[in-house]
A and B are shown apart, each in its own frame.
Chain A
């Protein structure tokens, strides 16, 4: 077999092995998570770490997103004489697509890398093994709590980020023009219905799950010492970012199909 084909074959084999191994990891997560005893304390601790400690970063990016999007869109709408559509257009794009995806990507960078590095360093220093031999189920204590916390916290962070993006948008609308807060938010919410909000929130649950499970998987499978920890954190971010786009793609297609019926 030529050298090039060999390396392609090896890459495909490794990719398929990784998919299989990740599926096994997810199966173990579901098997262990819903069995007693539940690690409530660690779950609340992780919710605080993942949710509360991300408020600043997610808030700032959400606010800037709304502000910049409004400033970039406004001149185009003015040219078409459609400035009145500005609040509705911004709120639709933020709630349906930009808010969830951008916030999830920020969370992938912050949360998935943190989980990957944390569990990775625990793995290479045998702390996970130590937990196991001292009678604690590490999947329940380390994985279930982090994945559940990410699944619940990411949608809440997206809602918070969306709200701040609309505030940013309102401020931008008032930098170049003059619109009352009442009129801006009435127009913004008038275009939104359940078909916009609910699917967007549902997909963020999957974003959160993806971020949590990929961070844990990469951390748990860390090898090769400190270099491996860096690789785990890095690949956790890369893979969860790709996963976010794939989940988004699937969610949008499903929504289109449901809307047809």
Chain B
């Protein structure tokens, strides 16, 4: 905990390994995320990017290493402590993962009711409306997820994450499957929410425009290790052809 306050790292991963059967996906990975920073993780499909952020969220149990999130090693945390940490770590899933049996309002109400210490129902409703306004979808408040487009689903999923006012947000392919205009809108929205809510983020993506717009730093995963680390410009000017090909 003290270390976290001193070095200002909200996430600090050391020697993280994860295998599925005989296949080693992550090999002794170490990375860190500073407060207020946005880190993009790039890499080929199936290289383990999603596994990495699911390990950070505690959705996948790592085989070895440490994952310090806000000063606590989530690998050794008990379920109650993990629950408390999770309230501070938002996760935006690839497909949005909206609860399809609930309306947009209920999707936001569900985590709000359980995690926010707001006894006043009116106050919760106000907060839901404010969050939806921030993502520009207040008009969709009573719609069902099946009535929303892909971009709208991502925005609502972001609103559902933001309602708990997380300190960290993990984005799993936030622009995947969207047209270039909607992708840009989502990237701008990520940037806007980072400023409004003062969050630190890890973004898993293949979208270089999104990386350019939102990220302070980039890590490239290859064969289970962090192959390259640096800013967009540093990596773009790299002599390594493979790295360059990624940022085209």
Complex Cα–Cα for A136 and B164 (A): 13
Contact partner of B83 among A125, A126, A135, CB < 8 A? Answer: A135
A71 at the interface (CB under 8 A from B): no
Chain B interface residue count, Cβ-Cβ cutoff 8 angstroms: 25
Q: A135-B111, A135-B115, A136-B114 are in contact. Are A130 and B86 (CB under 8 A)?
A: no
Q: A125-B100, A127-B99, A127-B100 are in contact. Are A133 and B94 (CB under 8 A)?
A: no
Q: A126-B93, A130-B93 are in contact. Are A135 and B114 (CB under 8 A)?
A: yes
Interface hits, A114-140 → B, CB 8 Å: 121-122, 125-127, 129-137
Q: Tell me the interface secondary structure of chain B in the complex.
A: mixed
Complex Cα–Cα for A126 and B86 (A): 16
Q: Are A133 and B99 in contact (CB under 8 A)?
A: no
B110 at the interface (CB under 8 A from A): yes
Contact partner of B86 among A122, A125, A127, A132, CB < 8 A? Answer: A132
Closest-CB distance, B152 to chain A (whole angstroms): 16
Q: Are A137 and B83 in contact (CB under 8 A)?
A: yes
B87 at the interface (CB under 8 A from A): yes
Per-residue A-contact encoding for B110-134, CB less than 8 Å = 1, 0 else: 1100110000000000000000000
Contacts of A122 in B (CB 8 A): 99
Contact partner of A129 among B59, B98, B111, B161, CB < 8 A? Answer: B59
Complex Cα–Cα for A107 and B47 (A): 44
Q: A135-B87, A135-B111, A137-B83 are in contact. Are A127 and B97 (CB under 8 A)?
A: yes
Q: Whose C-beta in chain A lies nearest to the C-beta of B57?
A: A133
Contacts of A136 in B (CB 8 A): 110-111, 114
Closest-CB distance, A138 to chain B (whole angstroms): 11
Q: Whose C-beta in chain B lies nearest to the C-beta of A124?
A: B95
Complex Cα–Cα for A229 and B246 (A): 36
Q: Are B87 and A125 in contact (CB under 8 A)?
A: no
Interface hits, A128-155 → B, CB 8 Å: 129-137
Interface centre among B87, B99, B160 (most CB of A within 10 A): B99
Q: A132-B86, A134-B110, A136-B110 are in contact. Are A126 and B164 (CB under 8 A)?
A: no
Per-residue A-contact encoding for B69-102, CB less than 8 Å = 1, 0 else: 0000000000100010011011101110111100
Q: Are A134 and B95 in contact (CB under 8 A)?
A: no
Contacts of B157 in A (CB 8 A): 130
Q: Whose C-beta in chain A lies nearest to the C-beta of B94?
A: A126
Q: Are A125 and B114 in contact (CB under 8 A)?
A: no
Complex Cα–Cα for A129 and B157 (A): 13
Q: Are B86 and A129 in contact (CB under 8 A)?
A: no
Q: Whose C-beta in chain A lies nearest to the C-beta of B59?
A: A129
Per-residue A-contact encoding for B179-206, CB less than 8 Å = 1, 0 else: 0000000000000000000000000000
Closest-CB distance, A258 to chain B (whole angstroms): 41
Closest-CB distance, B173 to chain A (whole angstroms): 12
Complex Cα–Cα for A134 and B57 (A): 10
Contacts of B111 in A (CB 8 A): 134-136
Contacts of A131 in B (CB 8 A): 99
Contacts of B115 in A (CB 8 A): 134-135
Closest-CB distance, B97 to chain A (whole angstroms): 4
Complex Cα–Cα for A126 and B97 (A): 5
Closest-CB distance, B201 to chain A (whole angstroms): 15
Q: A129-B59, A130-B99 are in contact. Are A135 and B164 (CB under 8 A)?
A: yes
Complex Cα–Cα for A134 and B169 (A): 12
Complex Cα–Cα for A134 and B115 (A): 8
Q: Are A130 and B91 in contact (CB under 8 A)?
A: yes
Contacts of A130 in B (CB 8 A): 91, 93, 97-99, 157, 160
Interface centre among A122, A125, A131 (most CB of B within 10 A): A125
Closest-CB distance, A117 to chain B (whole angstroms): 12
Contacts of B90 in A (CB 8 A): 133
* 24 A-B pairs (CB sep. < 8 Å): A121-B100, A125-B97, A126-B94, A126-B97, A127-B97, A127-B98, A127-B99, A129-B54, A129-B93, A129-B97, A130-B98, A130-B99, A130-B157, A133-B59, A134-B114, A134-B115, A134-B160, A134-B161, A135-B83, A135-B86, A135-B87, A136-B111, A137-B79, A137-B83
Please report B residues at the A interface, Cβ cutoff 8 Å: 54, 57, 59, 79, 83, 86-87, 89-91, 93-95, 97-100, 110-111, 114-115, 157, 160-161, 164
Please report A residues at the B interface, Cβ cutoff 8 Å: 121-122, 125-127, 129-137
Q: Ordered nearest first, which 4 A-B pairs have the shortest CB separation?
A: A134-B111, A130-B97, A126-B97, A133-B91
Q: A127-B98, A129-B93, A130-B97 are in contact. List 11 more A-B contacts (CB 8 A).
A: A125-B97, A126-B94, A126-B95, A129-B59, A130-B93, A133-B57, A133-B86, A133-B89, A133-B91, A135-B111, A135-B115
